[in-house]
Structure 1
């Protein structure tokens, strides 16, 4: 070209330099290539617009993943993206290596990349040839070290045998790469194929169950523990004439069979097949040997993890029961989430036991510890509880017998000082009436979520955990589930996970119980997710998702339609009710009663009325404990629609003396109870109850409530 002549078009210059142009827009998912770029990618040699999937099918999967990472880094740094890519044919064989250079841009609105770049063939010598080996001699050691570091990291992160094989199939060794691989294991006296890559599925049948005595390289490697290198088909044919016809059909030129050794024992063999001749120099053998060791360790870890998962799932299926057949008028849901490590089993459990007469028992408990022994003790205790329940014993007798049983098996034969105990909550339910009779052994109190979403911790009588004192008594507590009420039983892992104590953990769960409108199964999921997050599972989860304690939760709901008063009655006039016994020996339960009442009035708009109601309750219960020698029974309920509700509180005792108003002096320490009730309540009264009496008061949410009645005569 002479000076002054017009410059040729850019496309002509690039074509003369065997360089192709391409344009990739991830927003549309389309790639535009010119004729040269199409040729380099193995497409018809003409300008075309194709999809990402068509381009991806032509590129080595490892290089495709590397390209996306390089592009993201180039955008972040504002530089060119340069990467070497292997182009493959329809059979998956590498036909050429191209260098891609592009200038990427990123649209923050559409979250899409746009790249304009060039493709040029890399004219390196053919891998495996003398020229190819001499070309990479200068940086062989550097590339080998980088490759082995990457391979070791990738294999260490693989969690299953399938994932290990997938990583192994994607390894690109420096200077030479196999186009096929197979991993063999040993079962008894036979060779079996664990996995393969690069061989058609319909041509692997002869390798599936092969005797270790067969004249086959992999069998010899397992028998002797020494690698076999076959640099040419002639070597293969001469050394293994009987099995050469099996290998000949794949058309390979070189083979390496290496032992997979763990802790000095050969667990299998790895075959790497090459489509071109490989001399297997000392450096090449060193790389293959190192990869075989990494592969053996990865397969051993993956196999152990899979065995552990199978054992864990089997233990869970055995120890955690199905909730049984459908119960008329009742819905059940349960979740069990083990700690994140170990065998994924522990001491937490739940159970549902059918009883005569249509009744059933719910059990939830926690054996001390998170190990195999805790799981074994849990299984024995669960069987014992089922047996005692089947004998027809009441809840208190079931737990008393279970405590004596567990006291006898709680000691460890290996470590006499390792004595285990277990907490347990046992409840017998009558579906026809909604009555629940329960006994508690050191376990958390149950929670009742009422039809309108109000949730209360129901204080129940209890005894020591099972196994501590074989002669402990377990008093029973009765409560009634109203139509639409939900009973929640759980272990402490649901409450105390995440650094929470019982109080703050309960407040976290109360938000879910108060606000979640879903079905029972959805509520169970919401409770677990509120504690463990959405990545957690009903059973086992990833080992990285470690948890502090096992979690078990059991939900029982009495269906609202069983009230016999129409589908919308509960929505029109919900009822909240709580009952509590305050014994003479348990004055601290007055505080529990105050909390119950505040929970009932959690959405009461007038704070002064709430405080007044709680004050009057405290005064009434204190009077019973101070002026009588009997226990107090509290019944509190909220009725009516919002804006027109009424709180009625009634305290009953067996004392003979009826209360009467007094006029205490300024310095008197008592005698103001009825004066406070008369002053703060909208309505109140005292009524004889056979042996004993009850005193009650009512507070109305608005002036629309009924007119206060004259107090009943004392």
Structure 2
């Protein structure tokens, strides 16, 4: 009896699917099962596909691809339909890929196997099998979607391994996992789960020619399934003793392949027997493919992170040794969005005079070029400062240096056709020369945020300073110097705009957020290091001296912050916070003839100085009088106006004294302006609003002053 007759008797046909020619050869029984005349036929691939239900074709296509990749059997259930799409019958297909070379020497395959009719489940019988199969497939699809999403979000090798360990596969969850990597001719374990510490030692430095499943998978690029311990022992007798002690029943070893290169292997081990059906192998293969891609991304990210973090740390200086009478703390946090480098920097420079300089700056951009320019600029500033130049001269030379770098890159950009390399970048900078003996600070500013001072009683003021253009915009730029004294117990904060504006804040709202931290007595009492951490945490969670990883990735701009505290009397870092009588708080400000816009800064200084004043109407009155006094100096004299404001006394009973000095000998006098007059109200306002006021002639010029006595309760209208 012929084989074809035997197969036909049991409703089983034979077919051969040639992938190279795109044809399907059927015997008579196979043709009948596909709804064709019961005679041998050769069909185009499209004609054969049209006889399968579309959903089932997608299933078998994936299973066939898996069998071709692994060289294993492909088994699937298929619904056969007629020309109208009506289901005729259900068949089971079992095929095996046979590989060959075509005429051009390319490797291809044919699928050779059987197709057999199976009985449809009848109502009231075991139709549950179909439902269970459908439910399993839906669970599998949901699992693969969740696994793909979780692996795609993993940003480091450690995160990828944690995600892999937490995967719960539908119906056959492994209890032991291991990821093997390749280094030269050696196999190593990148990570594992479900094992005790030290269990990985025998596998951590294994030669690739070892008779071990993972090594063979790496060598061949093909998966190995071991459904029973007997199968493991038969195929890998040399290394079976290494696996035997874990008392597992089934193992799957799959290659981790990216872009055609096998980068390692993944082992899934089971305490319960697993047959590794086509569906189960399909799930494992899909997970292995996603795991390989996730690991590849993580390895690249880890390498970039290590490189850029090392680069940034090498550029960030240490603060050096302690300074008598001063305490210094600093933090730097790079932005996210790729490389963990940026243009922000800080520095502390010892000077030939015995003083020291604090520098903070921000080069435009958050990329490698910004970091490179930052490194060059930081070295240039340090060199100019070490030569003994004054703060204004240091910034002038630094601006010329940065502009020269832009000129030098234009030719290189043209040669390499790189437009970005020639685009000039500017930098903001704040340079402070500090005298630790007297607390005198000389500040030069190039487009950078002003320094902030926390006074001994907890009052926080943004200290306005004269400034010039950012570095690198105009080669020859002047940078005026502002001098003020940091009193014992006071703390100065220097920062880049990332600390203020990150999180969707503008300068005003961001400053209010930081001010609340600076005024908090708890942080002040714990020292500068705690205060620095609190400032960074207020922006976006906890930080360390150099923060990278997910925290840094969420930031919108680099952050650099420098804190300087002058030790001594008052409430400095580390000192208790409790005494009802506050020491004097004062502020000084010069408004130049060429800078009338700084009148607004003078008003803000007075309002911040009186932030806890009992009567808000007195605060409004003080702000109005200061505005009039400074404006009168700028309008009626040729010199600058110097403002000095001081509040002394106990809370609720303080005295505010504000004076504005100028170089003119002409004394003010009472005038009676009409409704249309644009001036002449300054003295009249002080007469109406101040508790005391007066004019003090000086050797050169005069000083106009007023005083307010704090009222614990606002006055009735």
Distance in 1 of aligned mates of 2:379 and 2:427: 14
Structure 2 vs 1, CA of residues 685 and 206 (structure 1 numbering), >3 Å: closer, same or farther? same
Equivalent residue of 1:404, what SS?
helix
Whether the aligned pair in 2 keeps the contact of 1:581 and 1:634 (CA below 8 Å) is yes
Equivalent pairs counted in the alignment come to 569
User: What's 1:659 paired with?
Assistant: 667
2:349 is aligned with 1:353? yes
**1:333 matched to which residue of 2?**
329
Per the alignment, residue 290 of structure 2 pairs with 294
Trace 1:288-687 onto structure 2 (pairs within 5 A): 288-410=284-406, 411=409, 413=413, 414-415=418-419, 416-519=421-524, 520-532=528-540, 539-540=547-548, 542=550, 546-561=554-569, 572-655=581-664, 657-661=665-669, 673-674=682-683, 676-678=685-687, 680-687=689-696
Distance 1:339 1:621 in 2: 42
Partner Cα separation in structure 2 for residue 267 and residue 372 of structure 1:
29
| 2:707 paired residue number | 698
CA distance, structure 2, for counterparts of residue 277 and residue 644 of structure 1: 84
Q: Flag the 1:627–1:155 CA change in 2: closer, same or farther, 3 A.
A: closer
Question: What whole-Å deviation, never above 9, does each CA across 1:593-648 have from its counterpart, x for those lacking one?
Answer: 22212222233334443344333333332332223212222222112222332222
TM-score by length of 2: 0.71
Q: Which runs of 5+ in 2 are unaligned?
A: 1-128, 713-717
**How far 1:190 sits from its partner (Å)?**
1.4
CA–CA separation in structure 1 for the residues paired with 2:317 and 2:477: 28
Quote the Cα distance in structure 1 between the aligned partners of 2:351 and 2:344.
23
Structure 2 CA distance for aligned equivalents of residues 588 and 252 of structure 1: 79
Q: 1:212 aligns with which of 208, 229, 233?
A: 208
How far does the alpha carbon of each residue in 1:390-423 deviate from its partner, in whole angstroms, 9 at most, with x for none?
2211111111111112123345732255221111
Which one of 218, 222, 231 corresponds to residue 218 of structure 2? 222
Equivalents in 2 of 1:357, 1:164: separation in Å? 54
Kindly indicate whether the alpha-carbon contact (under 8 Å) linking 1:664 and 1:670 is maintained by their aligned counterparts in 2.
no
Q: Contact between 2:495 and 2:559, CA under 8 Å: does it hold in 1?
A: yes
**Deviation of 1:547 (Å):** 2.7
**Structure 1: runs of 5 or more not aligned:** 1-132, 704-714
SS in 2 for 1:445: coil
Judging changes above 3 Å, is the alpha-carbon distance between structure 1 residues 569 and 266 closer, same or farther for their aligned structure 2 residues? closer
* Partner Cα separation in structure 2 for residue 215 and residue 513 of structure 1: 65
Q: Decide which moves more: 143-152 or 264-273.
A: 143-152
Q: What CA deviation, in whole Å up to 9, does each residue of 1:26-48 have, x standing for no partner? A: xxxxxxxxxxxxxxxxxxxxxxx
Which whole-Å deviations, capped at 9, do the CAs of 1:21-77 have from their partners, x for residues lacking one? xxxxxxxxxxxxxxxxxxxxxxxxxxxxxxxxxxxxxxxxxxxxxxxxxxxxxxxxx
| 1:185–1:192 CA contact under 8 A, matched in 2 | yes
In 1: Cα distance, 2:146 partner to 2:627 partner? 70
CA distance in 2, matches of 1:622, 1:276: 88
Q: Secondary structure at the match of 2:599?
A: helix
Return the TM-score normalized by structure 1: 0.71
C-alpha distance 546-154 of structure 1, shift in aligned 2 (>3 A): closer
> Aligned partners of 1:164, 1:504: CA distance in 2, in Å?
38
Deviates more, 1:544-553 or 1:208-217: 544-553
8 Å contact 2:364–2:426 — kept in the other structure? yes
Give the superposed CA RMSD: 3.5
Separation in structure 2 between the aligned mates of residue 268 and residue 234 of structure 1, nearest angstrom:
25
Matches within 5 A, 1:233-272: 236=232, 239-252=235-248, 254-272=250-268
Contact 2:533 2:544 in 1 (8 A): no
Residues 516 and 523 of structure 1 are in contact (CA less than 8 Å); yes or no, is this contact kept in structure 2? no
Query: Residue 273 and residue 554 in structure 1: after superposition, are their counterparts in 2 closer, same or farther (change >3 A)?
Result: same
Following superposition, the deviation at residue 285 of structure 1 comes to 2.9
